[in-house]
Each structure stands twice: as structure tokens, then as C-alpha cells.
A and B are shown apart, each in its own frame.
Chain A
Amino acid sequence: MTAVAVVNPAEHYGAYLGAIRSGDRRRAFQVMDAARDAGLDLAGIYLGIFQPALREIGCLWQNNELTVAEEHLATAITQAAMARAYERAFTWRTDASRRLMAACVDVERHEVGLRMLCDLLDLEGWHTTYLGATVPSESLVAMVRRLRPDVVALSAALTPHLPRLRTVIAAIRDALGDARPLIIVGGRPFLDDPSLAQRLGADLTAQNAVDAVRLLGERVSRAR
């Protein structure tokens, strides 16, 4: 029996945080490549390295140790690193029958979490459509009407954006009635209080992207 080495993301997390904190894109890519070469899969890289590193960047901003510009640079580097990791992990699946559409509600700019969800679902054989950050409510509902996805994933990272999220969910329900898609929501406020999701009219929330992939896999059947 072959022994499988257990890769600990924490070994790479510190180096990655240091790289994005100093705005060193090349170094960040090297760390990510090393983590992948060591055997870490996409979910492990996303949740074990990128997500905690970006949260720490946010904390450093709150501690007045980083500026907004530095925070944006760290996010941009991570977006590029994610695309690089995705490219190396993606394989075409002919059985992609389940469809998810993802968007950040109007004025919401924190999009990395939704990107992670879409990427991981792609690898699970979903067909995902990512609309982007700050998607106007009317456009979002129009796209749901047109694409008729099985699932709509919405993100609101800041508490003041929750009323907009509630409005969008209500608009989707009104527009599609019983034929409406499953609605999953995510963002910092839902980590603190998962019951918020139901109160805002959503069907699901998850603690992280891997959890969301598992929950959606259970709720949406493959053959539709």
C-alpha cells in the first residue's frame, strides 16, 4: 500500500501572505505552484491559503497596518493566482448538466468568495456563469429569466448590503414564481448568523465554498 503524504496548507500560507502583503506577484505564484506540486488540490489552495490570507489582509487594514491600495493589490494578485490554479486543475466534463449563476449584489465588490465557489463547481462538472461584482438588480433578474439556472448564488460581504440582497431575492421569486431556482447566499454576515439566509428569503447558505459545493450537490440532481 502506497503512503499518501498529507499536505498541510499552513506550510504555504505564511509565505503566500508575505508575498501578497508586499505586492510580490511572482513570489505569490511560486508559493502557489509549490503548494500544488506538493499535492494540494484546488479546494485546499483556495480554503487553506487564499481565503485565510485575504482575511488576514482585511484584518491588517482594520489594524491600520495596510492601506486600501495595498489591500486591492493583494486581492488582484490572488485573483491572478486563482486563475493560474484553476487553469491547471480544470478538466472538461461532458456531463455538465447542472447550471449555476453567480453575482455580487449591486454595490458589493467582494467577489473572491463567489469566484472560489464557481471554480470548485466547474471542477465538479457544473456549468457556471459568473456575472461579476456590483450587478444591478434588474440586470441580474433579467439574466436569471434568460438563463434559467438551477441555482443562483449571491454574495454580500458587508452588513449594509443585506437589504439589497433581500430585494434581489424577492425580485427573483416574483419573476419566476414556482419555477425559481434554488438561491444560495454567502458572505461574512452569514458566517456570524447563518439563520440570516432564511430571513432574507434564500434557501441555503454555507460556511465556505467547499461546504457550498457539497450542499448544492446534495440538493440539485445531476440529471435534469
Chain B
Amino acid sequence: MSQSVFTHLPACFDGFPGALLHLSPGGRVIESNGHLERELGKPVVGERFSEIIDAESCGEKWDRVLAAASSTGAPSTCELVLGKGETMLEPKAFSVLWDAESSFIWLVQHPSDRRMDNVRQQVTEVNSELASAQRGLVRERERLAHSLADTERSNRALDEFAHAISHDLKAPLRSVANYARRIEEGLGAQLTGEPRAHMELLRTQVERMKDGAHIAEPNEGDRERDRAVPDPVASSRSIAQRAVSPCITI
């Protein structure tokens, strides 16, 4: 059993917020200040440090750092991922220091500020949400452009329909009006009371429908207004109202 190397440290290191490890030149943990044990939930003294870290991502990295520390004795810094069962801990930064007798290696974790860790985590999450929101906006913008093109096509079709209807209505309405007039003239004084009132109402309604037929053709002002408010339901209702409002209320 090696002597407790931590007794050689100043007292202030008792409260050091990061891990302090004392390793053999081969990388085996001789002493620990208990920080990693608490975090990993398992003992680390006696273990090779390479078995504590995630070998897949950091194995070769640690080997290189250890070899450099052993050969040059120069201090270096590295970030390593520690393994905790099925969970990977966030990478931790360590300074690797060679002791004065060149027989031990000190591994000193850079203390991290939980507040900064939280901020970094939040920034990462906000970045991810921003990336999702950007894509959502792109999709919605494209969908709206597509809907607008559809609406404009529908409005053009409605305009054409209204134009055709107005022309198709004029001829039969003119015939109805002419026949009504001939009946009134033919019957002359025989047409009295309620029948005469019905005939007058018929002519009046026909005249109103004839007036309405040309109103059913939307003018340029109407089209501009429809373009400004690209609502297919509203546009359809507007055209329908122009076509029939002189005759009936909808």
C-alpha cells in the first residue's frame, strides 16, 4: 500500500471541487480525493485510469498523453470522457503533471462551474430548437406560397365562371321580359287585380335580374381587393353575392 500522497498537499486542497488523482507512471490510480468515486459510484483506487475513461473515444488519447507525460515530464492538458455504466459523462478537462521525483503523475481535474455548464447546455438546446424552428418556417412559407397560388387559380376560375353566367342569363331574361310584356298587352283591360300585380312583379324581378347579370362580372377593383385578401371562401362569397344580391338575400 502506498503512502497517502495527499497528506503532502496544502490543506486548501481538501475542499478542491474537482478530482485529484495520483497515478503511477503506468497509469494506475494510487490515491484519489474521492471526487471521481462519488461521481462514478465505484472505487477507482487500484484501477488503471484507462479503464475508468471511455476507451472508445479516449483510449488512444490517454495513451498518448500518458506517454508524453512519462517521456518529457512536461505538463499537458487533455479532455477525457469518463464512463458510468451506460451513461457517458460530459468530457472533463485534466492537467497532467509530473512530480518532482519523476515517479508519480498528478491528474488534476479543471474545476467546472455548474452555472456555466447549465448555460452551455441551454445554448445547445436553444440551437437545436432554432434549427427545428427554421425548418418549420421554411416548410410553412412554402406551404403558404403553394396555397396562395391555388387560391389565385381558383379566383381566376370563379371570375371566368361569373363572366360566363352573366352572358348566359341575359338572353333568357330578355325573353321572359318580352313574353310578360306581350301577355300584359294582349290581355289589356282583362288583366286586373292580383294577376296584374303578379305580372308587374314578374317584370320587375326580371329587370332586376338583368341588372344583376352585368354586376356579376367582377370589375378590376374587385379583383384587386380579392388579391389583397387571398381567402378563397371570402372571394367566392363575394362573387356569389354580387351575382344574386339584387334578387334575393343570402
Which residues from chain A sit less than 8 Å from chain B, CB to CB?
61-64, 67-69, 72, 76, 79-80, 82-83, 86-87, 90-92, 94, 107, 109, 111, 115, 118-119, 122, 130, 132-133, 158-161, 163-164
What residues of chain A lie closer than 8 Å to B85, measured between beta carbons? 160
What residues of chain B lie closer than 8 Å to A163, measured between beta carbons? 86
Query: Contact between B57 and A92 (Cβ–Cβ < 8 Å)?
Result: no
Q: With an 8 A cutoff between CB atoms, is B145 at the interface?
A: yes
What residues of chain A lie closer than 8 Å to B129, measured between beta carbons? 132
How distant is the Cα of A66 from the Cα of B139 in the complex, in angstroms? 36
Query: Contact between A68 and B79 (Cβ–Cβ < 8 Å)?
Result: yes
CB<8 Å pairs between A and B, sample of 29: A64-B61, A64-B64, A64-B76, A64-B78, A67-B93, A68-B91, A68-B93, A72-B120, A76-B123, A76-B124, A79-B127, A80-B127, A83-B130, A83-B135, A90-B135, A90-B139, A92-B139, A94-B146, A115-B131, A130-B132, A130-B135, A132-B128, A132-B129, A133-B125, A158-B56, A158-B88, A159-B56, A160-B85, A163-B86
0/1 string, B134-168, CB within 8 A of A gives 1: 11001100110110000000000000000000000
- Which 5 pairs between the two chains have the least Cβ-Cβ distance? A92-B142, A83-B134, A92-B146, A68-B91, A87-B138
Q: Which residue from chain A places its CB closest to the CB of B61 in the assembled complex?
A: A62
Query: Contact between B135 and A119 (Cβ–Cβ < 8 Å)?
Result: yes
Q: Which residue from chain B places its CB closest to the CB of A127 in the assembled complex?
A: B139
Query: Contact between B138 and A161 (Cβ–Cβ < 8 Å)?
Result: no
By secondary structure, the B interface counts as: helix
What residues of chain A lie closer than 8 Å to B145, measured between beta carbons? 92
What residues of chain B lie closer than 8 Å to A122, measured between beta carbons? 135, 139
What's the least CB distance linking B161 to chain A, in Å? Answer: 24
Q: With an 8 A cutoff between CB atoms, is B54 at the interface?
A: yes
Which residues from chain B sit less than 8 Å from chain A, CB to CB?
54, 56-58, 60-61, 64-65, 76, 78-79, 83, 85-88, 90-91, 93, 120, 123-125, 127-132, 134-135, 138-139, 142-143, 145-146
B88, B128, B138: the one contacting A79 at CB < 8 Å is B128
Query: Contact between B83 and A80 (Cβ–Cβ < 8 Å)?
Result: no
What residues of chain A lie closer than 8 Å to B56, measured between beta carbons? 158-159
Query: Contact between B134 and A87 (Cβ–Cβ < 8 Å)?
Result: yes
Query: Contact between B88 and A161 (Cβ–Cβ < 8 Å)?
Result: yes
Known A-B contacts: A80-B127, A118-B135. Give 17 more (CB < 8 A). Answer: A62-B61, A68-B90, A76-B123, A76-B124, A86-B134, A86-B135, A87-B134, A90-B142, A111-B128, A122-B139, A132-B132, A133-B125, A158-B54, A158-B56, A160-B86, A160-B87, A160-B88
B60, B120, B138, B146: the one contacting A86 at CB < 8 Å is B138
Among B78, B83, B134, max chain A CB count under 10 A is at B134
How distant is the Cα of A111 from the Cα of B87 in the complex, in angstroms? 17
Query: Contact between A91 and B142 (Cβ–Cβ < 8 Å)?
Result: yes
What residues of chain A lie closer than 8 Å to B88, measured between beta carbons? 107, 158, 160-161
What's the least CB distance linking A161 to chain B, in Å? Answer: 7
What residues of chain B lie closer than 8 Å to A109, measured between beta carbons? 124
Q: Which residue from chain A places its CB closest to the CB of B91 in the assembled complex?
A: A68
Q: Which residue from chain B places its CB closest to the CB of A90 in the assembled complex?
A: B138
